[in-house]
Structures are given as C-alpha cells and as structure tokens.
Structure 1
Amino acid sequence: MGSTDLIITGKYGVLNQQKLLNATSNNINNVNTVGFIRKETQTYTSCVDWGVGATYTRRIYDQYVQRQMYSDCSDYNYYKAYAEGLDTTDRLLSDENMSVANSISDFFDELSTAASLPTSTANRQATMAKLETVVNRFHTANESMFDSLNDVNNRIHDDVTEINALTRSIANINYEIRSMALSDNHVNNEIYLQMLDERDRLTGELSKLMSVKVVEQDDGTYEIYMSTGMLLANGDSYGKLSDELDSYDSTKRHIYLSYENTEDSSRNIASVQLTIDSIGGSLGGYLNSSKDIRDTMRELGKLAVSFADAVNTQNKAGFTLEDVAGEDLLKIENVQGVSSDTSVGVTCNFVEGKGENVQAYDFELIFMDGSYAIYQRGGDDKRIDITSSAVITDGATSTTITFQDSAGDDLYGVSFTIGKTVASMTASGEPRRVFYVKPTMLSASTVSTLVSKPEDFAFASAVRTRTASNNYGNAVISLTSCTQTGAAYGVSVDTTTKKPVFNTNAPNLIRVDAGGNYLVYYADTAGNETLLGRAPSSCNGVNIFSNTYASDGAGGYLTTMLSDPGYEVTVAGTVKENDEFYVEINSGGQADNSNANALTALRSEGLTRTTGSSKITTLNEGYANILAKIGSASNSAKTNTEAAEAKYEQTVKMFESNSGVNLDEEATNLLMFQQSYQACAKIIEASQTIFNALIAAF
C-alpha cells in the first residue's frame, strides 16, 4: 500500500499546485486588463485528504480604499466637468480682442474725438462704426455662450444615457451574483470572480459620472446609492435617469430618477426630480456649469440693455446735425415670454430711461381661480414672491404689469403685457395659467443699431441757456445737464417737425427776488408767466431746478421739490434783484457739442445695477463683475480639479498596491509553484518505481 499512498499523495499535490499555478497564470495574463483584481489561492492543511486540505481562491483588495477611490473619482470628474463647461465662456469674455468692455471704451474714445468737432461727418462715421462693433461684441459673446450651453446640455444627455446603461448592468450582474451565491456555486468559481471584477469596474465607471456610495449585502450583491441616500441599483431594481427640458426654459435641463425591475422592465416607480447639488460626478459638474453660463448670459443681457437705454436716453435729449431731435441709436427688442396657455401670450417691455434698474432675473407669473402670484427667479433658481410690488393695470382685453417700491419708484426696469385681463384670469372657475419671462437671457444677441447715417448722433443739447443782457449782477447761467425728454419732462419732441418743444409748465425763466432767491417760472410763447417755485439763495445758484420748492399757487411754497424737467442749470456769479436767466430750445445749434460731451460722460456714470443689490456701477465695472464671477468660478474649478486629481491618483495607487498585479511577485510565485508541481510529480514517479520493483520481486 505504500506506493499507492505515494501516488495518491502526489496526485493531490499536483492538483493543488495546478490550482496555484492557474491563479498565478491568470494574474499574469490579466496584468493589463481593466478592472481586474489580483487573485490568490490559499490551501488549508488537512489530515484527511492525504495531507492536502481545501483550496479557496479569493480576490485581494481593500474594500475601504476602494470606496474612497469611488468618492475621489466622483470629486475629480465633477470639478473636471465643471471647469470644461465654463472654459469657453471664461476664455471668450476675458479675451481682449473680443472684450465687450474694450469695445465700449473704444466707442466712448471715438465719441470724445467726434465731440471736439461736432459738425464733422467723418468723425461721426467713425463713431458709428465703433457703435456697430459694440453691438457685434454683444452678439458674439451671447451666441458663443449659447453654443457652449448647448454643448454642455448634450454632454448632460450623454452622461444620463451612460448612467442608465451602467445601473442596469450592475443590477443584472447583482442578480446573477446572488443566484450563484444562493446555490453555493460561487466557491472557487472563476466566472463568479470575474462577475465580481466586472461589477467593481462598472461601479468605478458610474462613480465618474455621479457620486455613489456602495453597501455590500450578505448575499454578495451591492446596493449602490447616491450621496443623498437614493438607491441607484441592487439585485432587484435599478435607477433610470431622464434629462428633460424645463417647461419654460429650453436651455435648462432637469434630472429625474425612476426605477425599473430587473425581471420586468415594465414595472417602474414614478420619477422624482433630483437637485443639482445631490448628483456629483461629471453629470453634476456639467449641470452646475450650465447654470453658471445661463446666469452669465442674463448678466451680459442686463449690461446690453443698460448700455443701450443710457445711450438712447441721452441721444434723445439732443439735436442732430439735421436740426431735429435725436432718436434711439440702439434698438432694444421686446421679449416674448412662455405661457402654459398657448392662446394667451406675454410680452416683456423695457421701460425707457430705467435701464439702470434692470437686473438679471427671470420672472414667473401665476394666475388661477381667485388669486395670482408673481415671483422673481435668480441664478440660484430660488423663487422670491414680489406680488406686493406689482402694479396691475387692466385694459379692455389685456393687462399691463409694472413694479414699484413703496415710494412709487420703478423697481426692475421692465413691464409685462398679457393678452388677457387679470380680472378675467382670476375669475371663478378659471384654469391655472403660468407665464415665464426671461428679460435679459438673450438681450445681448438681439440689441441692434438704428443709426443709418452719421447725422443721427444728437451732439447738440435740446435746450440752451441765455443770460439777460440788462442784468445788474455779473452772474451767468450755464447748462449743467440735459438728460431726458418726453411728456413727463420739460421738453417733448413735436411729432410733425421732429423738433424739441417745451411742455406746459417747463421751467424756462429764472428771476432773482429781493432776498437773492431764485424764482422759477414757465413762460409761454405769448409771454405769459406761471410761477413754478423758488430755489433759496443758500443753494448759491448750483443746480437750481433740483433745489426748487414747488409753488402752492397762493403765494407760498410747498415742502415738495419741483418735478425733474430732464435738464439742469447753474447760475454762477453775483446776482442782483430782478436779474433774469433763460432756458431756450436749442434751435439751429448744430455746432453745439454739449450733448456729445454728455454722451461721452456716460462711460464714468453709474448705469447698471448689481443684481440683488442697490449698488449701481459703470458699464466697465459691470462687465468686470461678470468677468470676475465667471473667472473666479472657472479658476476655482481648475484648481480644485488639480487637487482632486492628485488625491484620486494617490488613492488609486494605494488600491493597486494591494489589488494590482505585480509581475515580479507573480514571477516568483510562478517559479515556486512550478518547482512544487515538479516535486509532487517526482513523488508519483518515485511511487511508480517502488511499485515496479515490488512487481518484479514476484
């Protein structure tokens, strides 16, 4: 029996070494296989099976390091996607050759040159070209950002498609893993081990696209969750994402999560909307970059409206080279909103002269049976109820909505016209109607020039001043500013002659009384005078109209000030009783450059409001704020990308140091197992020699 024992011992030894050699050979063959985790076969000593116990093949990896690797992978890809999404917008806005701020500065420089020779058409022509360049810069910037937004949205869709494929695959593998585990077919089963590797690889791919947390169950399956705790995949079901366009904003995508069953895909659970900050990974990075791009487009549109409104307002306060009142130099397009009721539309109009009040907000208007509400929507997408500031004016078949503060001053520089009255929309039984308006989202790409010839620039002011020749004092009057015309101000434009004319009660005569006070009158063409108010001598003649207390019509004066006539004057010098000073229509004053100087001065005036603040800045400061905000976000994303990448690489190295295949180590093992195999084979050979010797002895 001795030789027989040797044969059996050798056989088990050879079989055992063969398993060890198989594991090592498999490791070497898969040294470059993506997702492969090193295997190790262990043998347990036994006195039953001829000195060789059971063997068990296992994967060598640290699950805690693996989980950290998933987390670091998600962080790295989030910041990388965020930076990629913002890169084009950041580079475009910061490019000196494409800078809107630089083109605006060039326009004002050329305007200043033209103001020195107000009758020169050559200089006006150059100014006209610079204005066209400003408009082109606005168009290019907005359209490029729109293209970037579409690109980011396409990437969002691609990520959603890939996530769905991964969650379904993970759920199916989970199902197979559980089936094998329950049937005890998983021990030393190479297919089972390969499925574990593949599931880990798929989970790693999923962590690139969104943030995941992994919990291993007793049956060997993974339950994969989002960072917020929402399930993505297990052995029974898997999450299915969908990216859907916003009902009122085609540039915005919402992500919804629903579930499908691994055995019956027709069974699903109703979807729930995910918040952007809960997603992580490249999908979360692209979603956040799309939000920032939309916000930047709103800010740029706000700047375009503020610039156009300021230039238009000032140009209409002057005379052109053809001796007619100035008109708009730039066209600010009305904005059509989106309505849940296709039979009722909404239009947003920008209030003339209130461009500095425009902010980068969207607006949501909701009307229903018995009530209505109006909300302001900012870049963070939060809803702020502004219903109390709305002024509703119902017409016969439509309504107009403006916004005022408690003092009656305009709030947002916009008004809305709806093709149905508020009274009818809130009547009993009326359906819920929602209107959504994005006033500045595309305004930078829709503003256009209206200048058809150089003469359209109104370089001469609509009014001029004159000091009476027979005054006793030596004081003279000068025009401080002329900024506004229209029915609400001192000067209007005659629709027939296209020339400025005084409105009734426009302050155009100043007479000094015995106390040195400045009496302000309106004198009509027939010589009739109406006392409008009095500016006290203490103002020293500076900005008289803004210091004038209105007359009460009975010889006294009110505590309220005279309404702003849209122009201002200053009387400098020593005045005497009965000295007179006049404001006249600047007829035939084409050589005057006072309005050109006022246009040039717009570059240093506060014309655009910081969104969400009462602060009003210059146009260049407003553009710098836009650039700083998007630049800061982009640079921060790039910096965080580098830091996250370094951490991720460190975790990968830590994981691979344990689970990765080391060829030197495997080569050593291969040699050792090969020698053991040969030794076991020698046992069989020796047993055969003994057996043959015993046979020969008989």
Structure 2
Amino acid sequence: MGSSLFSIGLTGLNAAQAGLVTTSHNISNAGTAGYSRQSTVQSTNPGLFTGAGFFGEGTKVDTIKRAYNGFLTNQVLSAETKLNEYDTYSTEISQIDNMLADPAVGLTPAVASFFEGVQEVAANPSSVPARQSMISTAQSLVARFQNLSQRLNDVRAGVESQIKDTVTSIGTYAKEIAELNHKIAVAQQAGSAQPANDLLDTRDQLIKELNQLTRVSTTTATDGSMSVFIGTGQPLVVGTNATTLAAQSSRSDPSRNDVNIITQSGAAITIPENLLGGGKLGGLLAMRSSSLDTAQNQLGLIAVGMSTTFNAQHLLGQDLNGNPGTNFFTPPTVGVQRFSDASTASPQVDFADVSKLSGDDYKLTFTNTTGGYSLTRISDGASVTAANIGLSITPAATSTVGDSFMILPTRNAAANIGVSISDTRMVAAAAPIASAATSGNLGTASISAPVVSSTTDLASFGTAAAPLKLTYSSGNISGFPATLPVTYTPLSGSPITLAAPVASVPYSSGMSIAVGGVSFTLSGAMQDQDSFTLGPNAGGVSDSRNAVQLGNLQTTKTLLSANGSPSATFQSVYSQTVSAVGNKAREVKVNRDAQESLVNQATQAQQSVAGVNLDEEAANLIRYQQAYQAAGKVMNIASKLFDQVLALGQ
C-alpha cells in the first residue's frame, strides 16, 4: 500500500509540475503575437482492483492543449482582411481626392482663367495684349492638365510598386507556411499525434499576417498540414508545396502589373483582378481599377472634349491676317495598345463624336481574317459599337482571329494636350463671313451678323469684291447659291428645308435662314429690290464673333451625351469627377472605421478564449504550487509508512 501511495503521489507531483511548466510558458509568452494560451489536460489512471474494490492509481497528463477556437479565429481573419483592404484603399484614394479638390492645384481655376482670356479677346479682338493673355492662359491650362496627369501617374507608379512588393511578400509567406506544414507533420507524427502547439501558433500567425495582404481561406489535412487558398479559391499552399506568384507587366498594358501564377514550366497564368479581393493587395487592385483609372480617364475626357470642341470652333474663325483659323490645341489621339501576342496590324482609331465619349476603355478582338471585330467595354464586358461610343475604327485589311487590342480613348489625353498657336495674329477671333444691307435699300429691314457652323461651302458666298447678294421682291427672298439647300424658319414656325436649287423663300420679319453652314436673321419692313450681301470678311480686325462663340464653350454642354444630346460642360464633368472621388474616399473611410470596430470586437472575442490572462495565470501558479506541495507531502507520508514497515522486521 505504501508503494501504491508513493506512486500516486508521484503522479500528482508530475501533474503539478506539468501545470507549473505550462503556466510559466503562458506567462512568458503573454506578449508574443499569435500565441494561444496552453493548458494541461489530465485524466485518472485506471484503478487497481482488490477484494475490497478499486483503489485509485493517481493521475496522468494526456496532452497540452492550446486554447483555439476556429470559428472565432476565422471571424478575426475575415474582419482583418477587409479592414486592410479599406485602409489601403483609403490611403491611396486620399492622394487623388486631395489633389483634385485642391482649389490651388485643381483644374477649375485654370479653366476659368483660360476662358477669362478668351472673353478678353472677345471684348478687344484687335488688342495684341489680350490675344497674348489668351495664349498664356491656354499654356497655363495645358500645364495644369499635364501636372495633374503626371501626379496621377506618380500615384499609379506607387500603386504598381506596392502591388509588386505585396505579391513578393505573399510568395514569401507561402514558402514559410509550406515549411511549417512539413515541420508540424513530422513533429506530430513523431510525438504520438500530440499537437505541436507552438508550431501551430507560429503557422497561425503567418496566416494572420498573410491574410492582411490578401484574403485567405484554409483547410487542414489529417497529418496536420494546412492548405491555404487566396481570393476566391486559388491554391497558394497545398501541403508542403507553395505556389509561385509574380507581379508582371500586363499583356495589354505594360504600365500595369498583373498577378500571375508561375507554373513549373515557367508559364504565367494571370489571376483576374476581381478574384483577388481583401487585404492590401485587394485594396490596391480595387483602387487602381475603380478610382485611379476612372479619375485619369475623366481628366483625359475633359482634355479631349476641350481641345476638340475648341479646335472645331477656332477652325470656323478668321485670324488677323485674314486666313482661316487653325487648330488652337494639339489635336488629341486615341491610345491603342496591342496584347503582347497580337500579330495583326493595329487598327486606326479616331474620335468621331466627343460628346459620346464616356471615359471608358475598350477591348477590340478580331473575329475573322478580313478585319471583322467585336468591341467590348472593359468595365462591365458589355458589347458596344464604335459609333455609339464616339469613335471611328478602321481595322486592318487582313487580321488574325483572336488578336486583341486595348483602346484607351482618354487615358493619356491630359498628358499629351498642348497649345499649337504661339503667334497672336493666328488667334481666329473673327468670323469669315460678313453681312451688310445695300446702301440703296428703301425699306427698314436689317440682316444680323452671320454665324458660321461650317467652312466647307464658303466659296459659294463669292469674294470680297463680289459677294453673294440676296434680293427681296414681291414677298420673297432670292439669290441663294444654286448648289446649296436652304433652311428657313419663320419667327413663330418650324424649320423648313428646301432642296437645291432654291429660287426663293417667302419673307417674314424675324425669320432665320441657314445656307452653306452660314446662318443669319432678317427682320424689318422690306421694299422691292431691297438687297443684302453675304461675303468674305475683308475687314475682320475688330470682329469678335468667333471669339464670342469660343467663350460660349465654357457654359455649353458638349460632353456626356444623354438621350442623344450632350449633357455636361467641361466644368461640370470635372466637378462630377471631384465629387465621385470625394464620395468614394468618404465611403471607404467610413467603411474602414466601421470595419475597425468589427475587428476589435472579433479580436476581443477570440482573445477571451485564446489570450493569456496574467491574473488567471498567477492564480494557476499558486494552485499548481499547492498541488505540488500536497503531492510532495503524500510522497513524504508514503516514505514514512514504508520506513515503519521495514522497522517491523527488525
């Protein structure tokens, strides 16, 4: 019985010592990131049967268990990966928001200043200083476009660099987790399937850190190894094998990095961006596609709209030398980028109707060998036609089926805009057609200054010495060019178009007439043989009609067609862009703050199970110390009893 008592005391001593070791381990790692509290799991040794019944044989330590709750851990992972996505998105988009909304460096003051210069020319068309001011403010506007574009490119470069670094870090974590899988499997198999708690904690911490870079999900095999998946299920670690990831230049756009899986043969398989949500990587990819691309495209849209419409109106004017107007701004071009494996010659893509541009990017894919193609919008994959998106596409005569090209109508427009005029005399402030009433007219009728909408048929209006002459007789106006149709609109009626040749149109006071791209108004009382001339503007030095039209472009809706008509001005498009970026920045910040609260709640719940409570561990130390002392006392008594038994034999 003494020997049995001694054995029982020894088991208690061992159990208490195990508790003291485990508690000391907990206290030492209370500040270790990812550490899970450990505890001893004891059970009773099988009893010894005697005639008097079963006598206890003490206790045994079955295992050292870590306080781990998979559900709570997954809640923390889910909340943290979303927080890091929002946090990264918020940090990056705030740079764009601060820049675009800044009243000092934004586009709005530069546009306003430029049109003030145009209005000054409209008020003083013969003033050389006014013309120089207009050119100078145009150059300042161009510089503002280019500076904003460069700043966006700087943000883009930073995002691309972070994507590359993040993918490299993900690959490093994958290798470390694969190595730990091997160590855990070996340790647990060698230790009678006992859990390698500290190795498991280390692996969980690596997964936690990986999850902050990209959303992960895991499954655990029977040997203790853990497979890790990223995004929507792409395998990153399977057992002891880690997938190789690399951020490489996109096949369609070398300025962008795609996330690729590198196969054993070295081939790269691109993972679509929409499959890589969560974490820092998800935030970077989402910000790039949803906000950075959009902001840069919208800025380019304004540059394209302004340069194209301003050029179109400037071409309708006449400069101080009496010559037709030329392009005021550098004509924009459409960006076309081939996919790296495309062999077909690039299609010719031009702007057809800038009012239909939306700031989207498109993918053109050849569908046959004779230039047939399909066109899809990148943002949503919808099929579109070139005419509906404001473009003109001339494909190659011969093509390879499947060859694809990226069409970026406005992406680089803000960086490439420029002022084409440096000579003040070349500012086309005047209109090329002038009108006048003949000096011998008997009536009181007058003709308005003509407005020119096309220069194609200006030769039909004669010369300065022999201009076109319109004559009133018996209630009708005659003398129109024989080859041109005429549209006239009575003061209270609808437009009426007559096909060429037009002999005459009925006169009514206040009527408007349009012929050959020139429109004007006739009003007042007519007498037979009263006449009016329309011809080249020989003395247009003080004429500001075209400058007035140029100035009106500031408030004219020329962009973003809706229901067939332009719906936005240059300023309103920029305001919408600033508003969209600002709203997105606020939305992401609000979501980030809310997500941070969710992370704190989930972490508290998880730590209530797995965290080390020093007060509790201090109490455990006392409890195990007392248990150790009590077990020692049992052994001491057993020893004395055994000595008494030996003394009986003496």
Asked whether the equivalents of residues 81 and 285 of structure 1 are also in contact (C-alpha less than 8 Å), the reply is: yes
Structure 1 pair 562–239 and aligned structure 2 pair: CA distance change class (3 A)? farther
Q: CA separation in 1, counterparts of 2:435 and 2:181?
A: 88
Q: Give % identity.
A: 24
How far apart, in 2, do the equivalents of 1:16 and 1:320 lie?
102
Q: Deviations over 1:647-697 (max 9, x none)?
A: 112101111111111111111111111122122223333444555566677
Say if 1:227 and 1:612 are closer, same or farther in 2 by CA, change over 3 A: farther
Deviations 1:185-212 (A, max 9, x none): 342x6xx111111121122122212222
CA contact (8 A) 2:355 2:561 kept: no
Partner residue of 2:51? none
Instruction: Confirm or deny: 8 A CA contact 1:539 1:547 kept in the other structure.
Output: no
Residue in structure 1 matched with residue 52 of structure 2 by the alignment? none
Question: Partner of 2:20 in structure 1?
Answer: 21
Q: CA distance change for structure 1 residues 196 and 536 in 2, over 3 Å: closer, same or farther?
A: closer
Range with bigger deviation, 266-275 or 433-442: 266-275
Give the 5 Å matches for 1:276-315: 276-292=274-290, 293-315=292-314
Segment drifting more, 670-679 vs 222-231: 222-231
Q: Return the letter of the residue paired with 2:286.
A: N
Change (3 A) 1:373 1:177: farther
Q: What is the CA RMSD across the aligned residues, in angstroms?
A: 3.4
Instruction: Tell me what 2:50 maps to.
Output: none
Residues 531, 231 of structure 1: alpha-carbon distance in 2 compared, 3 angstrom cutoff: closer
| Correspondent of 2:131 among 124, 127, 144 | 124
Out of 255, 273, 279, which is 2:271 matched to? 273
Alpha-carbon shift at residue 122 of structure 1 (Å)? 2.0
Matches of 1:676 and 1:198, distance apart in 2? 32
1:466 partnered with 2:436: yes
The answer on 1:143 being equivalent to 2:160 is: no
Deviation (angstroms), 1:385:
4.8
Are 1:73 and 1:208, in contact at CA under 8 Å, matched by a contact in 2? yes
Cα separation, partners in 2 of 1:579 and 1:563, compared to 1, 3 Å: closer
- The change in CA–CA distance for 1:326 and 1:110 in structure 2 (over 3 A counts) is same
**Shift of residue 434 of structure 1?**
3.9
Map 1:164-313 onto structure 2 (within 5 A).
164-187=171-194, 192-226=196-230, 228-257=232-261, 266=264, 271=269, 273-292=271-290, 293-313=292-312
Deviation at 1:368, TM superposition (A): 6.7
Match runs of 1:650-669 below 5 Å: 650-669=601-620
Deviation, 1:139, is: 0.3
Counterparts of 1:278 and 1:613 in 2: how far apart (Å)?
A: 38
Q: 1:42 to 1:268 in 2, by over 3 A?
A: farther
* Displacement of 1:462: 1.5
Q: CA deviation at 1:131?
A: 1.0
CA distance in 1 between partners of 2:564 and 2:600 (Å): 43
Offset of 1:52 from its aligned partner?
A: 1.3
CA distance in 2: counterparts of 1:17 and 1:404, whole angstroms: 84
**Separation of aligned partners in 1, 2:472 and 2:245:** 78
Measured in 2, the distance between the counterparts of 1:268 and 1:298 equals 35
Task: Give the superposition deviation at 1:180.
Answer: 4.0
> In 2, distance between residues paired with 1:381 and 1:413?
19
**Are 2:389 and 1:440 equivalent residues in the alignment?**
no
Q: Hey, what does 2:480 align to over in structure 1? A: 521
Task: Tell me the distance in 2 between the aligned counterparts of 1:433 and 1:534.
Answer: 48
Residues 429-578 of structure 1 correspond to what in structure 2 (within 5 A)? 433-479=403-449, 481-485=451-455, 488-490=456-458, 508-515=468-475, 517-519=476-478, 521-522=480-481, 530=482, 532-533=484-485, 535=487, 538-539=490-491, 547-552=496-501, 565-578=516-529
TM-score, length-scaled by structure 1: 0.82
Give 5+ residue unaligned stretches, structure 1.
Answer: 260-265, 387-402, 406-410, 493-500, 523-529
- Shift in CA distance, 149/624, structure 1 to aligned 2, threshold 3 Å: same
Which of 110, 122, 126 aligns to 2:117? It is 110
Q: Assess if the C-alpha contact under 8 Å between 1:518 and 1:535 holds in 2.
A: no
> For each residue in 1:396-455, what CA deviation from the matched residue of structure 2 results, as whole angstroms up to 9, or x when unmatched?
xxxxxxx557xxxxx625555x7xx51xx15xxx67644443232111111111221333
What is the CA-CA distance between 1:640 and the residue it aligns to?
1.3
Q: Which of 582-591 and 680-689 deviates more?
A: 680-689
Tell me the alpha carbon deviations over residues 3-23 of structure 1, each in whole angstroms, 9 at most, x when there is no partner.
Answer: x44433332222111100111
Q: How many residues align?
A: 632
